[in-house]
A and B are shown apart, each in its own frame.
Chain A
């Protein structure tokens, strides 16, 4: 599962086959081994006796009941959440834009239809060449950011966990929710990367010389930006929804967004991303975070966006920040949700959404951990 780099720090919850976080299993250490199976054969032979059909029956579990989710292991739930999310996504090329779509289905009958969600188009090679200057300038910070860059290679879970009190033994459903957000971001960003096929900075110039290996997937959008902004925005909304003081204060949201921004910029410092990649990743991540939140909370609709890479500011235009070609998360968030005017992002509409009992269950469990 090479593309799931962002899950490394989450205590094995997102990965397949991990039992690590559950305590007290020492007595089951030999389960499913040949020695245990052989011993169990002998034991049953010794104690089971003649077959006596049972008299009482267990109650049947409810069909298609989200409450059954609690019975399964985390990795099983993860697969269910992934299916729930990814099965409602579509992808299509429209001209030079790649469009992520949401499958909207009626409450009865078969007629489902795709609605726009996030559309992204790629900056030109000439634009990317201009943005190379940032890779040279930001390289100046490598001495300062080296330890962060290396610790953030696998994703920012450690850093996100330093803001609210996240721990697998205290907030396991919150961590499952965040992991679901990260996997959603990952599936989506990889599909975009495949379609947009943007070259990495080091393919443009021999002087970039990144300090970590350049990952072998497309540069635009940035995976770190997408995943960190998606998980940060879901977490910020969860904390606010808990109703618990002090999470009502906007500073929780601000710190987590600043963290996501720093993680994204560190990728430019490292030499593996252009600032425009981080901008597209930020936009996609924030859109996915808002979408996931709506799906979890029974929202009637979600917002769709378009990111036009061709309109990302040129360095040669010589404009002042935030229109100088560098990455500014505040501009992007404000344009998406608060009427800002970044020229490269548009809100394209409000689209219908249907409830998801499965995701609502997860959200409720996570929220309860903060109340």
Chain B
């Protein structure tokens, strides 16, 4: 399948313009342009999105290293890893130093095998990868850069992985059966008493703080607990989780911390139980990654986190004299755009990792939330019957949105020479750009600089095609970061005109990328949405309508977490405990292809009025109520661990088998509701 070859940009004239305009601002270099063919977000991050992607004062292109997650074509992966593509100016030893192989291609030509590598690339290496290295890549994502401390942590993790493993000769199984719990999140108060035993100290065997670049072992954590004598503010300052000298939001300094609540639901325990059979490994993601979602920037850090947890789990197994131990990882994060067919970079990594663990003889289960965007108007679906037919999506960006906004339109397998759809984007001020399939990128701009871009790409992993519309922020991210040209806020008209070549049953999907901010984080981004007048939001009584009604292309269907459409991940929605109904935000998969719906639901809101469920707050002895599909997933992660301990598969079918509660709308509730076993036995209401 030929990719679109990159050609110099065509620029649309603004309203009232006719004279060729000079483009101000920084021109992306050739190396960046090459990325557009495989991942336009890399081009964006290295070009017009630079000031958003790199924090004020952080590393910059050409000056320091950039992290990349690369998926390699299996047939040529070994050559790439050996450095066959490198120009003579780059030494093989330098290449090996900047490379971390996450998995090699499977021997014997397994169909789904891939090879994965994480690379810390300086400018020459970026050019090499984007140039001669490109044909070796299936997909690539650029990760949000860290500072020097974080990169030192990568080295520490790699060293841990390289440590020779003590081979135990008596590989028995442990009693009771042991399952390793993994939690990847933000704001994990890892020394909380709910993660400790009265005898023997913490159950957290390893904790990787990715920002601080530190891997804490159980001995470290027990040491901090003893030294701080119960003053947990002091403990987390000393451990580097809440360092008030560095910038950024410190979730674990707030009483309601997402990661702590999630981890309690997944594997928290009364210390008096002295549980030995759920050793825990946790990963605290970089703060920048949780703060603003920028395209693809969490894939590498999550992938490295998964790799770390699986490796540490097997080290724990060896240390305990056991055969390989099953691992359950809870990842309560969600995205909105991407293909929704299991082939996004992170989804592919997860599927491959699960398969790899399977071949090595143990189970890896990954549990994800279904997503909270059911009512957020971030998805539209369109079909076309006659040539000349068009569909228009009014895409509304809010003012004072300090982060860029993105919209993706996903199409079925592209034709080699024919364009089926023409995209036309009209700004709130009337400026217009047009792009057909197979065309080169276009942009809108003023003499100060561009503020909107559109790309068309083929998507190799599942033989599809996609348009991306990228908008510059309409407010500056902060006073020290002047943006050459801001985009106007308001309603952008995104119109698709059909010119033939699709089947009547083909569905074209549009998704808006996530842009809201998580509780506690400073207000920067505002979620844009599809503001279609035909979309009915409320029923006759003024309540949020929870079904799609009417002719609008904007759809509640298909709003599922776009990291949760893989074949093997377990996906959980949120339900109301008392009313036994889906929570109004709990997202839906799509029954029609891509066919991925949540597996089940569990209680994430005790009732419509008693919101959230109670679990640990960030300091020992404190509890807080928190809701969302984020808190549904870890409860099922706990169930999955129990299934694995009972020597069952604990896979999607196993989870669906736990369902006993009938719920409406299977596209949101999957097989139905799993009875919740609240970890806090307090009754928040007086009825049975």
List CB contacts (< 8 Å) of B190-209 with chain A: none
Q: How far is the CB of B236 from chain A (nearest CB, A)?
A: 10
Residues of B within 8 A of A321 (CB): 234, 237-238
Asked if A254 lies at the interface with its beta carbon under 8 angstroms from chain B, I say yes
Query: In chain B, what residue has the closest Cβ to A262?
Result: B233
Asked if A133 lies at the interface with its beta carbon under 8 angstroms from chain B, I say yes
Query: In chain B, what residue has the closest Cβ to A331?
Result: B234
Residues of A within 8 A of B238 (CB): 320-322
Cβ-defined contact, B230 with A134, below 8 A: no
Cβ-defined contact, A315 with B253, below 8 A: no
Asked if A291 lies at the interface with its beta carbon under 8 angstroms from chain B, I say no
List CB contacts (< 8 Å) of B213-262 with chain A: 229-231, 233-234, 237-238, 243-247, 249-250, 253-255
Residues of A within 8 A of B229 (CB): 254, 330
List CB contacts (< 8 Å) of A312-345 with chain B: 315, 320-322, 324-326, 328, 330
Cβ-defined contact, B254 with A144, below 8 A: yes
Asked if B657 lies at the interface with its beta carbon under 8 angstroms from chain A, I say no
Cβ-defined contact, B255 with A324, below 8 A: no
Cβ-defined contact, B230 with A254, below 8 A: yes
Query: In chain B, what residue has the closest Cβ to A328?
Result: B234
Residues of A within 8 A of B246 (CB): 137
Asked if A54 lies at the interface with its beta carbon under 8 angstroms from chain B, I say no
Cβ-defined contact, B253 with A133, below 8 A: no
Asked if A125 lies at the interface with its beta carbon under 8 angstroms from chain B, I say no
Cβ-defined contact, A138 with B255, below 8 A: no
Question: Which residue, of B230, B231, B245, has the highest number of chain A Cβ atoms within 10 A?
Answer: B245
Residues of B within 8 A of A143 (CB): 254, 520
Q: How far is the CB of B573 from chain A (nearest CB, A)?
A: 29
Within the assembled complex, what's the spacing in Å between the Cα atoms of A147 and B335? 34
Q: How far is the CB of A328 from chain B (nearest CB, A)?
A: 7
Q: How far is the CB of B260 from chain A (nearest CB, A)?
A: 14
Cβ-defined contact, B237 with A137, below 8 A: no
Cβ-defined contact, B249 with A140, below 8 A: yes
List CB contacts (< 8 Å) of A119-177 with chain B: 133-134, 136-138, 140-141, 143-144
List CB contacts (< 8 Å) of A262-319 with chain B: 265, 315
Asked if A258 lies at the interface with its beta carbon under 8 angstroms from chain B, I say yes
Cβ-defined contact, A325 with B245, below 8 A: yes
Q: How many residue pairs between the two chains, A and B, have CB atoms under 8 Å in the bound complex?
A: 45
Query: In chain B, what residue has the closest Cβ to A207?
Result: B479
Within the assembled complex, what's the spacing in Å between the Cα atoms of A141 and B231? 18
Within the assembled complex, what's the spacing in Å between the Cα atoms of A19 and B250? 47
Residues of A within 8 A of B244 (CB): 133-134, 137-138, 326
Query: In chain B, what residue has the closest Cβ to A316?
Result: B245
Residues of A within 8 A of B233 (CB): 261, 265
Cβ-defined contact, B245 with A258, below 8 A: no
Contact with A along B281-311 (1 / 0, CB 8 A): 0000000000000000000000000000000
List CB contacts (< 8 Å) of B469-483 with chain A: none
Q: How far is the CB of A262 from chain B (nearest CB, A)?
A: 8
Cβ-defined contact, A140 with B253, below 8 A: yes
Cβ-defined contact, A137 with B247, below 8 A: yes
Within the assembled complex, what's the spacing in Å between the Cα atoms of A224 and B520? 27
Cβ-defined contact, B245 with A134, below 8 A: yes
Q: How far is the CB of B233 from chain A (nearest CB, A)?
A: 8
Residue in contact with B245 in the complex, picked from A141, A322, A324, A330, CB distance below 8 Å: A324
Cβ-defined contact, B231 with A330, below 8 A: yes
Cβ-defined contact, B520 with A137, below 8 A: no
**A321-B237, A326-B237 are known contacts. Are A141 and B254 too (CB-CB below 8 A)?**
yes
**A141-B253, A141-B254, A144-B255 are known contacts. Are A330 and B247 too (CB-CB below 8 A)?**
no
Within the assembled complex, what's the spacing in Å between the Cα atoms of A349 and B247? 41
Within the assembled complex, what's the spacing in Å between the Cα atoms of A141 and B243? 13
Q: How far is the CB of B630 from chain A (nearest CB, A)?
A: 19
**A138-B244, A320-B238 are known contacts. Are A258 and B231 too (CB-CB below 8 A)?**
yes
Residues of B within 8 A of A258 (CB): 231
Cβ-defined contact, B230 with A330, below 8 A: no
Cβ-defined contact, B255 with A315, below 8 A: no
Residues of A within 8 A of B247 (CB): 136-137
Within the assembled complex, what's the spacing in Å between the Cα atoms of A167 and B231? 28
Contact with A along B387-431 (1 / 0, CB 8 A): 000000000000000000000000000000000000000000000
Q: How far is the CB of B529 from chain A (nearest CB, A)?
A: 25
Q: How far is the CB of A114 from chain B (nearest CB, A)?
A: 37
Query: In chain B, what residue has the closest Cβ to A257?
Result: B231
Residues of B within 8 A of A328 (CB): 234
Q: How far is the CB of B539 from chain A (nearest CB, A)?
A: 34
Q: How far is the CB of A340 from chain B (nearest CB, A)?
A: 13
Query: In chain A, what residue has the closest Cβ to B253?
Result: A141
Q: How far is the CB of A98 from chain B (nearest CB, A)?
A: 28
Within the assembled complex, what's the spacing in Å between the Cα atoms of A134 and B242? 12
Question: Which residue, of A144, A315, A325, has the highest number of chain B Cβ atoms within 10 A?
Answer: A144
Within the assembled complex, what's the spacing in Å between the Cα atoms of A136 and B248? 10
Within the assembled complex, what's the spacing in Å between the Cα atoms of A167 and B292? 49
Residues of A within 8 A of B245 (CB): 133-134, 137, 315, 324-326
Residues of B within 8 A of A136 (CB): 247
Within the assembled complex, what's the spacing in Å between the Cα atoms of A133 and B244? 8
Contact with B along A237-265 (1 / 0, CB 8 A): 00000000000000000100010010001
Q: How far is the CB of B522 from chain A (nearest CB, A)?
A: 8
Residues of B within 8 A of A322 (CB): 234, 238
Query: In chain A, what residue has the closest Cβ to B519?
Result: A143
Residues of A within 8 A of B237 (CB): 321, 326
Q: How far is the CB of B244 from chain A (nearest CB, A)?
A: 4
Query: In chain B, what residue has the closest Cβ to A135?
Result: B244
Residue in contact with B234 in the complex, picked from A134, A138, A330, CB distance below 8 Å: A330
Within the assembled complex, what's the spacing in Å between the Cα atoms of A144 and B243? 17
Within the assembled complex, what's the spacing in Å between the Cα atoms of A322 and B237? 9
Q: How far is the CB of A118 from chain B (nearest CB, A)?
A: 25
Q: How far is the CB of B253 from chain A (nearest CB, A)?
A: 6
Within the assembled complex, what's the spacing in Å between the Cα atoms of A265 and B244? 12
Query: In chain A, what residue has the closest Cβ to B249?
Result: A140
Residues of A within 8 A of B250 (CB): 137, 140
Residues of B within 8 A of A265 (CB): 233
Within the assembled complex, what's the spacing in Å between the Cα atoms of A134 and B243? 10
Residues of B within 8 A of A141 (CB): 253-254
Q: How far is the CB of A226 from chain B (nearest CB, A)?
A: 20
Within the assembled complex, what's the spacing in Å between the Cα atoms of A320 and B238? 7
Query: In chain B, what residue has the closest Cβ to A275?
Result: B244
Within the assembled complex, what's the spacing in Å between the Cα atoms of A328 and B236? 13
Within the assembled complex, what's the spacing in Å between the Cα atoms of A109 and B631? 76
Within the assembled complex, what's the spacing in Å between the Cα atoms of A321 and B250? 16
Residues of B within 8 A of A261 (CB): 233
Within the assembled complex, what's the spacing in Å between the Cα atoms of A143 and B254? 9
Q: How far is the CB of A147 from chain B (nearest CB, A)?
A: 12
Within the assembled complex, what's the spacing in Å between the Cα atoms of A315 and B246? 11
Within the assembled complex, what's the spacing in Å between the Cα atoms of A238 and B231? 23
Q: How far is the CB of B315 from chain A (nearest CB, A)?
A: 27
Q: How far is the CB of B419 from chain A (nearest CB, A)?
A: 49
Query: In chain B, what residue has the closest Cβ to A144?
Result: B254
Within the assembled complex, what's the spacing in Å between the Cα atoms of A154 and B226? 35
Question: Which residue, of B234, B244, B254, has the highest number of chain A Cβ atoms within 10 A?
Answer: B244
Query: In chain A, what residue has the closest Cβ to B232?
Result: A258
Question: Which residue, of A261, A321, A324, has the highest number of chain B Cβ atoms within 10 A?
Answer: A321
Within the assembled complex, what's the spacing in Å between the Cα atoms of A140 and B520? 8
Contact with A along B645-670 (1 / 0, CB 8 A): 00000000000000000000000000
3 interchain residue pairs of minimum CB distance: A137-B244, A321-B238, A144-B254
Q: Could you name 22 residue pairs across A and B whose Cβ atoms are closer than 8 Å?
A: A133-B244, A133-B245, A134-B245, A137-B244, A137-B245, A140-B249, A140-B250, A141-B253, A141-B254, A143-B254, A144-B253, A144-B254, A144-B520, A254-B230, A261-B233, A315-B245, A320-B238, A321-B237, A321-B238, A322-B238, A330-B231, A330-B234
Taking Cβ atoms with an 8 Å cutoff, the residues of A that contact B are 133-134, 136-138, 140-141, 143-144, 254, 258, 261, 265, 315, 320-322, 324-326, 328, 330
Known pairs A137-B244, A330-B231; list 14 more (Cβ under 8 Å).
A133-B244, A133-B245, A134-B244, A137-B246, A137-B250, A140-B250, A141-B253, A141-B254, A144-B254, A254-B229, A258-B231, A265-B233, A320-B238, A330-B234
